[in-house]
Amino acid sequence: MCKTEYAVCGNPHLLEGSLSAFLPSLNLAPRLSIPNPWIRSYSFDGKEEWEVNPLYCNTVREIYPYSNSNRLLNIVDMAIFDFLTGNMDRHHYEMFTKFGDDGFLLHLDNARGFGRHSHDEISILAPLSQCCIIKRTTLLRLQLLAEPEYRLSDVMRESLLQDPLAPVLTEPHLLALDRRLQLILEAVGKCIDTFGEATVVANDTAQPQSPAAHRAKLDT
């Protein structure tokens, strides 16, 4: 297996891989396959609009369901996941039909992930950098994983040690996660500097009141 459209070749002719599918059948749980608005051109002689138009997100925001649901925020989450893993091949995403337009996205087909640990493909972050929105819960989790005591590479290393195929990821790939996480936070920071935190960071969940704040409200 060695084709010009794939950045990988067999040694000498075969590649070793795996396939895992843990979803119920379509008869039990119907799902839709939806083109990613930031799909790549997959050709040498043309580019998709998002690759040449930095204001492309304005067009996406006008299209249902990205215009009035949490779908665009979920797309940004998916782009962050893909950037961390180095997956440039997110041409479609899937959703269970039962949950409607506000359902969660299924991140299927991650086979192109964790390819080149030395290269950070910034274009994968186009949904984040062009739309300049992110869930508050996502940002808080990313910020936590950037702290020394909860470093993403350390968390992943410890988690993967439980896998029968441990270590699964090589050390350069683990360190790449930390580097890419910083690039994501830098992208969010640029958006906040430009548009303000209130516009960029979406409150996707109600923050629980602290006991002290609750008592103060009762006292008044």
Q: Between 97 and 214, where is the model more confident?
A: 97
Q: What does the radius of gyration of the chain's CA atoms come to, in whole angstroms?
A: 20
89 is catalytic: yes
Which pLDDT score is estimated for 217? 45
The confidence score (pLDDT) of residue 132 equals 98
Q: What is the DSSP string of the chain?
A: -B-TTSS-B-SSS---------PPPTTTS-EEEEE-TT----SSS---HHHH-TTHHHHHHTSTTTTSSSHHHHHHHHHHHHHHHT-----EEEEEGGGGGGSPPB----TT-S--TT---GGGGHHHHHH--EEHHHHHHHHHHTSGGG-HHHHHHHHHTTSTTTT-S-HHHHHHHHHHHHHHHHHHHHHHHHH-HHHHEE--SPPPPPHHHHHHHHH-
Spatial distance between the Cα atoms of 33 and 146, rounded to a whole number of angstroms: 33
Which residue carries 């067009």 as its tokens?
59
What are residue 94's DSSP bridge partners? Answer: 33, 106
Global pTM? 0.84
Q: Does 109 appear as a known binding residue?
A: yes
What is the reported pLDDT for 85?
Answer: 95
Q: How far apart are CA 33 and CA 100, in angstroms?
A: 13
Within 10 Å of residue 59's Cβ, how many Cβ atoms? 13
Q: How confident is the model at residue 151 (pLDDT cuts 50, 70, 90)?
A: very high
Instruction: Report the pLDDT value the prediction gives residue 68, as an integer from 0 to 100.
Output: 83
80 Cβ contact partners less than 8 Å away, ≥ 6 residues apart: 125, 128, 134, 138, 142, 184
- Provide the pLDDT for residue 43: 77
Q: Is 21 annotated as a binding residue?
A: yes
pLDDT tens-digit series, residues 164-220: 888 889 999 999 999 999 999 999 999 999 999 999 999 987 554 444 444 344 444
Q: What's the confidence (pLDDT) of residue 165?
A: 82
Tell me if 206 is assigned to a ligand binding site. no
- Report residue 207: phi and psi, to 5°: -85, 125
- Answer yes or no: is 23 a known binding residue: yes
Does pLDDT of 24 surpass 90?
A: no
Q: State how far the Cα of 36 lies from the Cα of 88, in Å rounded to an integer.
A: 12
Residue 95 confidence (pLDDT): 94
- 2: pLDDT confidence band, cut at 50, 70 and 90? low
User: Is 118 annotated as ligand-binding?
Assistant: no
- Is 79:128 a contact under the CB 8 Å cutoff? yes
- On whether the CB atoms of residues 1 and 14 are closer than 8 A, the answer is yes
In the predicted structure, residue 74 carries a pLDDT above the cut 60:
yes
pLDDT at 44: 74
Q: What is the pLDDT of residue 105?
A: 93
Q: Which of the following is catalytic: 82, 89, 163, 178?
A: 89
Each domain of the chain, given as residue ranges in start order, spans 30-40+48-204
114 is in an annotated binding site: no
